Structure 1
Amino acid sequence: MGTTVRQATRATVQLARGVAMTLGTYLFVTVLLIATMGTLFVVGAWMLPEAVLLVRRIAGARRRQVAGWSGREIAEAYRPLDGRPFRERFVAAVRDPGTFRDLRWMLAQYAYGLLGLLAVPLWVVGLPVDGVWCGLSRRRALVLPLIGRLADLDARWSTALLKPSPKALLTERVEELAETRAGVIAAHEAELRRIERDLHDGTQARLVALSMRIGLAKRAYDRDGGGDPEVARRLLAQAQDQAEEALTELRHVVRGIHPPILTDRGLAGAVQALAAGSGLQVALDVEELATGPRAPAAVEAAAYFLVAEALTNAARHSGSDSAEVRLARVPHGLTVCVRDEGKGGAEEAAGTGLLGLRRRIAALDGTANVSSPAGGPTVVAAELPYTW
């Protein structure tokens, strides 16, 4: 029976928290009504967005309570109100479907929010008086579980009222896709500018110099009096060197678009090559990817460039001579983690290239996080979803 009592106690705590929130909403509704009446007379219109934000916080607290009891998260879908001019905030607060769903829950809370008070008589019936009660075990077995069912019922009602509508979720998804699409376009334009700059400043300049050297060599051979073979030979040797340098830079540009080694050796082999050429002592954990089906090309490229950027930053800025790289399959995708024990303090806005990689990963519906407190360690982690 100890388990039954513990479960009933936990359910009672959950119901008590719901009752406390209900009592708190009684006070808040007064503020909300004042804001609404003030809005009607224009005088208190400025209060409405703040009141809606407070409603959202209360609803969010209730969502967390229910998730703690049921083990299932309740999604949120709101239009942003912070950081906007007052007029836009007011319109967003009034037109947001989430506002009306929260208010509907708050009004319904008046009807069922005090449901948890029923736990008191159930405890009275389920526990003995002065330690003596006929059929105590049977009463506990029948009465105390009802408290848990009350908590379940309360959680189901709150979930049904607080979860966003399919339309709200679709709207949020469309906005998210629009944002990631804009990020992809920006990253694509930046990549094109980088390729153009590399070709213009490197490969193109060397090809122009190569053409000039060949032209000078041709003139040296065609000069009156039989020409000067030694000068022509020296110019051709310089032209050959410049051709090789141009090819090297062209390969560098190609690797920046899509590394051939990634196609030839797969992600595991490509990351091993990155580690070998990084100048760091890198502890690798990529064996899991050496066998089995490969990830889509876009996912492999995003993971490769993330590792490349993180190792480059670690070698240049961390002050550490070692790093750790771990890639692993998960049920719905691929995880990447690069860690170094350097001085930390890495910032995406400082031109490290991580911002562009975050955009690339977001375009694949993935997530990327950078943790780099002062003193280290620096951890760059990403999750790239796809179906194996």
Structure 2
Amino acid sequence: MREVLRSAVRASFHLVTGAGLSVVCYLMIGLTLLAATATACVIGAGMLPETVRVLRGLAGFERRRVAAWLGTPVPERYLPLDQGSLLERVRAAGSDPGTYRDLRWLAAQLLYGLVLCYAAMVLWPLGLLVDGVWCGLARRPAVLLPRLSELATLEARISRQLLLPSPSARLSERIDQLAATRAGAVAAHGAELRRIERDLHDGAQAHLVALSMRLGLARRAYDQQPAAARTLLDAAQDQAEEALAELRHVVRGIHPPVLTDRGLVGAVRALAAGSGLEVSVAVQGLADGPEDGGRAPAAVEAAAYFVVAEGLTNAAKHSGADRATVELWREDGMLRVRVRDEGRGGADEGSGTGLLGVRRRVAALDGSVCLTSPSGGPTVVEVVLPCAW
């Protein structure tokens, strides 16, 4: 019963806050009508953008209140009000679809905010009476007081539905997001090409040039100095092996062969074994091998592999940790990857290119990256990659 009362008090506070917001909405409607009238008379045109700004602040408060109750954020999408001349700002305030959705919520909040609060006021005495007898004498779960939480959830869902951006605004936001993702993918692709070119030029090409020179010297010395020629050929063989090792390193950076040979789980276990840390790997819903069943597309597996590789590399180099955890699991058409180390924390994306490269690689696949690294640790990198299995 104490837990029921605690939940009912929390729900009642939410509903009372909504009722108080309804009173503020009543005043806001008057201010909006005044601003619209002043704008129509031209004299007070400057009132409209500032009034809309206040309206957005009120709607933003409601979004935060709803998000706190439901546990999911409520997105917003508005046209800017601080750019251009007064006429342009008035036009933006009057033509913004977000403004009209806020006004719709403003009018509706007057009704359902007060009605649901009054319903809670009626429900409290009935609930205390009925549930007190029901729980105390009949030893049954409470019946009426839990309905307060349902009323608060109903109120939050109505507000969320009214305050969500319009479909056109969400489409525009998605287009902007895809444009930014494409720009990041192009930048990541360019950086990858420059890295491959640099590795080939400074590594494999240098070894192949030296190999060619040694073979030329060996050919000249073959007839007159067989021993020297043999020494040069031995050095040339070593040079060829070094060139092959460099080429394997470049290929591994493009698409690690271990992914093809062992699958994502096997490749991650190989990374964990060679990281120099004590790494535990937890897997759920993924094929433990190169089998086709339960595997993600190659691009998604490669992105997940590089996320784990970067996370373990950073943990070994910078965190001071001696152990780490890697988790891979399937969930609702998503591949989720989490790398956690018990080091000193304080990881910063701006301090290097590794984490930024991870974010760009994941964004190119329409995924998301969440980095948590408070001072003192732990550092957690969590990545969500959408994919078809």
Which residue in 1 is equivalent to 2:318?
A: 317
Distance change in 2, residues 1:186/1:127 (3 Å): closer
Aligned to 1:189: 190
Q: Is the 8 Å Cα contact of residues 25 and 107 (structure 2) preserved in structure 1? A: no
Q: 1:231 aligns with which of 228, 233, 250?
A: 228
**Alignment partner of 1:244 is 2:234:** no
- Unaligned 5+ runs, structure 1: 130-140
Aligned partner letter, 1:206: H
SS at match of 1:286: strand
Provide the rounded CA distance (Å) in 1 between the counterparts of 2:285 and 2:8: 46
Between the aligned partners of 2:148 and 2:326, the Cα distance in structure 1 is 50
* Whole-Å separation in 2 of the counterparts to 1:149 and 1:375: 40
Counterpart residue identity of residue 77, structure 2:
Y
Shift of 1:166: 2.2
TM-score by length of 2: 0.79
Deviation of 1:162 after TM superposition, in Å, equals 2.3
CA RMSD of aligned residues (A): 3.9
Query: How many Å apart are 1:87 and its aligned residue?
Result: 5.8
The separation in 1 between residues aligned to 2:325 and 2:264, in whole angstroms, is 16
Residue pair 2:79, 2:96 contacting (<8 A) in 1 also: no
Within 5 A, what are the aligned runs for 1:246-325? Answer: 246-286=243-283, 289-291=286-288, 293-325=294-326
Contact 1:115/1:150 (8 A) holds in 2: no
Correspondences of 1:1-388 after superposition (within 5 Å): 13-29=13-29, 32=32, 37=38, 45=46, 51-66=51-66, 71=70, 73=72, 75-79=74-78, 81=80, 85=83, 90=89, 93-110=93-110, 112-116=112-116, 118-119=118-119, 122=122, 157-221=158-222, 226-286=223-283, 289-291=286-288, 293-388=294-389
Give, in angstroms, the shift of residue 107 of structure 1.
3.2
SS in 1 for 2:224: coil
CA contact (8 A) 1:63 1:73 kept: no
- CA spacing shift, 1:33–1:314, aligned 2, 3 Å: same
Q: Deviations over 1:215-258 (max 9, x none)?
A: 2222223xxxx422222222222221111111101100000000
- Amino acid paired to 1:260: P
Find the aligned partners of 1:338 and 1:94 in 2 and give their Cα distance.
Answer: 48
Q: Evaluate the alpha carbon distance shift between residue 358 and residue 227 of structure 1 in structure 2; reply closer, same or farther with a 3 A threshold.
A: same
Deviations 1:321-348 (A, max 9, x none): 2222222222332221111122222111
> Aligned with 2:371: secondary structure?
strand
Percent identity (aligned): 56
Cα drift, residue 261 of structure 1: 0.4
Amino acid in structure 2 at the alignment position of 1:192 = L
Partners in 2 of 1:303 and 1:127 — Cα distance? 52
C-alpha separation in 2, matches of 1:285 and 1:145: 39
Once residues 152 and 42 of structure 1 are traced to their aligned partners in structure 2, the CA distance between those partners, rounded to angstroms, is: 44
**Contact persistence 1:16–1:116 (CA under 8 A):** no
Q: 1:281 and 1:314 mapped to 2: Cα distance?
A: 11
What TM-score results when the alignment is normalised by the length of structure 1?
0.79
Q: 1:186 to 1:18 in 2, by over 3 A?
A: same
Using the alignment, how far apart are the partners of 2:284 and 2:122 within structure 1? Answer: 58
Give me the whole-angstrom Cα distance separating, in 2, the residues matched to 1:219 and 1:311.
49
Residues 115 and 154 in structure 1, CA contact (< 8 A), matched pair in contact too: no
Question: 2:218, 2:233 within 8 Å by CA — same for their partners in 1?
Answer: yes
In the TM superposition, structure 1's runs of 4+ consecutive aligned residues that sit over 6 Å from their partners are 1-11, 141-153
